[in-house]
Amino acid sequence: MKIINTLETARHIAKQVKACGNRIAFVPTMGNLHEGHLSLVRKARELADFVIVSIYVNSMQFGHNEDFDTYPKTFAADKHHLEQENVDAVFAPTEKIMYPEGQTDHTRIQLDCLDGMHCGLSRPQFFSGVATVVTKLFNIVTPDVAVFGEKDFQQLCVIKKIVHDLMMPVEIVSGPTCRDENGLALSSRNNYLTHTEKKKAAGLYALIQKVASKISAGERDYTRLSQFGIEQMQESGFVPDYFNIVSTKTLKPPSDDESSLVILAACTLNNIRLIDNMQIQID
Ligand code: AMP
Q: Convert the pLDDT of each residue in 133-189 to its tens digit.
A: 999 999 999 999 999 999 999 999 999 999 999 999 999 999 999 999 999 999 999
pLDDT of residue 14: 98
Mutate to test the pocket of ligand 1, among 34, 57, 148, 152 (most ligand atoms within 8 A of CB): 152
CA atoms of 276 and 160, how far apart (whole Å): 19
Asked whether 58 lines ligand 1 (CB < 6 A), one says no
* Ligand 1 close to Cβ of residue 40 (< 6 A): yes
Count CB neighbours of 225 within 10 A: 20
Closest CA to ligand 1's atom 19: 186
* DSSP annotation of 179: B
- Global confidence as pTM: 0.97
Instruction: Measure the CA–CA gap between 60 and 130, rounded to whole angstroms.
Output: 8
Check residue 256 and give its pLDDT: 85
**148 in ligand 1 pocket by Cβ < 6 Å?**
yes
Establish whether residue 178 lines the binding site of ligand 1, counting it when its CB lies within 6 angstroms of any ligand atom. yes
| Rounded Cα–Cα distance for residues 55 and 44 (Å) | 15
From atom 7 of ligand 1, which residue's Cα is the shortest distance away? 29
CA proximity to 88, closest of 156, 171, 22, 158: 22
For the chain, residues with pLDDT lower than 50 are none
pLDDT at 152 (0 to 100): 98
> Which DSSP category does 64 fall into?
T
Q: What separation in Å is there between the alpha carbon of 175 and the centre of ligand 1?
A: 9
* Cα–ligand 1 centroid distance for 72 (angstroms): 14
Q: How far is CA 177 from the centre of its chain?
A: 10
Is 186 near ligand 1, meaning CB less than 6 Å away? yes
E-strand stretches of 198-271: 239-247, 260-269
- Calpha distance 248→246 (Å, rounded): 6
Active-site residue, from 12, 37, 164, 195: 37
Instruction: Give yes or no for residue 184 CB within 6 A of ligand 1.
Output: no
Nearest CA to ligand 1 atom 10: 148
| Ligand 1 and 177: CB distance under 6 A | yes
81 is catalytic: no
Q: How far apart are the first and last CA of the chain?
A: 47
Conformation bin of residue 26: beta by default, left when phi > 0, alpha when psi is -120 to 50:
beta
How remote is the CA of residue 17 from the centroid of ligand 1, in Å? 26
Whether 244 lines ligand 1, by a CB cut-off of 6 Å, is no
State the distance from the centre of ligand 1 to the C-alpha of 221, rounded, in angstroms.
Answer: 31
